[in-house]
């Protein structure tokens, strides 16, 4: 929707610096994924080959529902526990963190910006690119929301489209198509409040599917056309890439925990037993073999026998419902977008048979996405549930999710506290 210039509620200055903590061997970058089931902090350090993971800390978290904070104290406790573990492993003091955000309050849209190329030689300069991206942000986001990301997709110079880097090209008119992601102020404020109360400074915020994509998707996949589904505990985050850039991002308020609930209700057992059954026995597809298994009743005193078919009749329909919701989100894609693959990540990707189930449902080849593109302690993070946290260190410093704050800060780190003023306490 076209409208007035975006409101700049937190002042007219966006800090774009990289926030780095220090250790004895140099600067480090920290990602903080505050999830519905766990908080995960990942510490990375830059090397000549890219990023090396030097520390990982994980702690259970029950302070969120559907990606949104419902219990500040519990969330703060979880952040403290996860970052302390990461600090110990990495041997650094963590100060600044790139924070993941998700939840139904996050929305995305595509927009176009247009400017005249003004330089004397009519060559596109860096400033023209900056101006056209700013022009694409002229959408009415409402008073209770802010833009989190503006991701340029393609540039067009004098009608020639599909340009990824227009700098130096000659022309009179520069256009850009951008993917714009907005979030609800109060939801974001609560996340940042928890980060701050845990003694940390937010370096930037990143919509979580962008982070998960940075950790798991290959450049080639993003070019050809790919859907990422990050099935977490309480949310399923979606990102679609085509032509090298993000063209759709969204989140649905259901994740793998609903399968556990359904198993507990369907088999009349405890959540602990249901979670264990989901992780060890449940399967998303029709298995030709598989023995019956015994399940503890709610009081834990007796057991009953359940067949694999009974379990599948609980799990498969719910998984298909999650897939259906994701497919509905994809109906908003432009008709000419071609998709060649689906990548499943997040802890929910561990469900046995999910690759085949997703492939059959979406009619696309499917694979499980685990974090790649990093070195160092890769064994500690080579699981789908670490995709977001690893992606935060990859995407955070490069992304545009730096935090809005009031006034031009004196030091890189002093402004953020001023920005939210007394909101923190
Ligand atoms: N082996 C497994 N089989 C099936 N599901 C699994 C398995 N291991 C973990 N899960 C599920 O993965 C989910 C947690 O995933 P993840 O750690 O990515 O979530 P999160 O980041 O805490 O939550 P969210 O992203 O929704 O805020 C839980 O529902 C958990 O039961
Ligand atoms: Mg998650």
Structural fold of domain 257-318:
Actin; Chain A, domain 4 (3.90.640)
* Structural domain boundaries in the chain: 13-104+186-209+372-423, 107-184, 218-254+321-368, 257-318
What share of the chain in percent tops pLDDT 70?
88
CA-closest residue to ligand 1 atom 2: 279
The closest alpha carbon to 366, from 357, 374, 379, belongs to 357
Contacts of 411 (CB under 8 A, 6+ apart): none
CB crowding 22-52: b at 16 or more within 10 Å, else e? ebeeeebbbbbbbbbbbbbbbbbbbeeeebb
Confidence of residue 403 (pLDDT cuts 50, 70, 90): low
Collect all residues with Cβ–Cβ distance below 8 Å to 397 and sequence separation of at least 6: 18, 29, 98
CA distance linking residue 342 with residue 362, whole number of Å = 8
* Domain 218-254+321-368 superfamily per CATH: ATPase, nucleotide binding domain (3.30.420.40)
Closest ligand to residue 348's CA: 1
Cα–Cα distance, 38 to 312 (Å, whole number):
27
Phi and psi, residue 260, nearest 5°: -65, -45
Residues pairing with 108 in the sheet = 181
User: Which tens digit of pLDDT belongs to each residue from 314-344?
Assistant: 999 999 999 999 999 999 998 889 999 999 9
Per-residue pLDDT tens digits for 260-287: 999 999 999 999 999 999 999 999 999 8
Q: Which ligand is nearest to the CA of 391?
A: 2
Q: Do 271 and 340 touch, CB atoms closer than 8 A?
A: no
Q: What is the pLDDT of residues 221-235, one digit of tens each?
A: 999 999 999 999 999
Among 244, 194, 235, smallest CA distance to 32 is for 194
271 alpha carbon to ligand 1 midpoint, in Å? 14
Ligand 1 surroundings by CB, under 6 angstroms? 35-38, 67, 232-235, 255-257, 260, 275, 278-279, 346-348, 350-351, 385
Find out whether 250 and 108 touch, Cβ atoms under 8 Å.
yes
Neighbours of ion ligand 2 (CB under 5 A): 35, 232, 388
What is the rounded distance in angstroms from the CA atom of residue 82 to the CA atom of residue 193? 17
CATH superfamily to which 13-104+186-209+372-423 belongs: ATPase, nucleotide binding domain (3.30.420.40)
Does 423 score more than 60 pLDDT?
no
Comparing CA positions, the residue from 248, 213, 252 lying closest to residue 372 is 213
Q: Whose CA is nearest to atom 9 of ligand 1?
A: 347
So what's the architecture of 107-184 in CATH?
Answer: 2-Layer Sandwich (3.30)
User: How many Å lie between the centroid of ligand 2 and the Cα of residue 37?
Assistant: 8
Query: What one-character DSSP code corresponds to residue 4?
Result: S
H-type alpha helices, 22-173: 72-90, 126-136
- Long-range pairs for 377-381: beta carbons < 8 A, 24 or more residues apart: 377/52, 377/53, 377/54, 377/55, 377/56, 377/89, 378/53, 380/53, 380/56, 381/42, 381/53, 381/56
Fold match, 13-104+186-209+372-423 / 218-254+321-368 = yes
pLDDT in tens, 129-172: 999 999 999 999 999 999 999 999 999 999 999 999 999 999 99
Sole residue written with tokens 């090209």: 169
Mean pLDDT score of the chain, rounded to an integer?
A: 88
What integer pLDDT is reported at residue 415 of this predicted model?
Answer: 34
Per-residue pLDDT, 406: 33
């Amino acid at each position: 929707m076209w409208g007035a210039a975006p409101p700049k509620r937190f002042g007219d200055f966006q800090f774009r610096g990289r926030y780095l903590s220090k250790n004895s061997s140099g600067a480090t970058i920290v990602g903080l994924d505050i999830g519905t089931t766990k908080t995960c902090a990942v510490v990375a350090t830059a090397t000549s080959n890219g990023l090396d993971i030097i520390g990982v800390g994980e702690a259970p978290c029950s302070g969120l529902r559907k990606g949104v904070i419902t219990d500040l104290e519990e969330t703060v406790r979880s952040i403290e526990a996860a970052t302390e573990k990461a600090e110990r492993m990495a041997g650094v003091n963590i100060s600044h963190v790139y924070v993941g955000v998700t939840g139904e309050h996050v929305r995305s849209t595509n927009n176009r910006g247009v400017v005249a190329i003004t330089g004397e030689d009519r060559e596109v300069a860096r400033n023209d690119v900056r101006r056209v991206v700013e022009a694409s942000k002229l959408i009415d986001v409402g008073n209770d929301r802010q833009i989190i990301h503006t991701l340029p997709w393609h540039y067009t110079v004098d009608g020639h489209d599909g340009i990824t880097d227009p700098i130096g090209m000659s022309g009179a008119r520069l256009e850009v198509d951008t993917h714009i992601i907005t979030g609800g102020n109060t939801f974001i404020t609560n996340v940042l409040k928890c980060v701050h109360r845990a003694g940390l400074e937010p370096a930037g915020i990143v919509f979580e599917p962008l982070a998960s994509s940075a950790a798991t998707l290959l450049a080639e996949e993003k070019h050809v056309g790919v859907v990422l589904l990050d099935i977490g505990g309480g949310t399923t985050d979606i990102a679609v890439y085509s032509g090298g850039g993000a063209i759709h991002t969204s989140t649905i308020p259901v994740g793998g925990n609903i399968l556990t609930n359904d198993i507990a209700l369907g088999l009349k057992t405890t959540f602990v037993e249901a979670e264990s059954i989901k992780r060890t026995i449940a399967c998303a597809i029709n298995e030709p073999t598989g023995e019956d298994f015994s399940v503890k009743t709610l009081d834990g005193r007796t057991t009953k026998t359940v067949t694999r078919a009974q379990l599948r009749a609980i799990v498969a329909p719910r998984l298909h419902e999650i897939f259906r919701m994701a497919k509905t989100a994809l109906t908003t894609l432009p008709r000419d977008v071609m998709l060649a693959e689906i990548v499943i990540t997040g802890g929910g990707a561990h469900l046995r048979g999910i690759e085949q189930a997703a492939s059959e449902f979406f009619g696309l080849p499917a694979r499980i996405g685990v974090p790649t593109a990093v070195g160092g302690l890769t064994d500690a993070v080579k699981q789908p549930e670490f995709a977001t946290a690893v992606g935060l260190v990859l995407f955070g410093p490069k992304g545009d999710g730096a935090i809005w704050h009031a006034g031009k800060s004196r030091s890189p780190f002093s402004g953020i506290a001023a920005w939210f003023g007394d909101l923190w306490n």
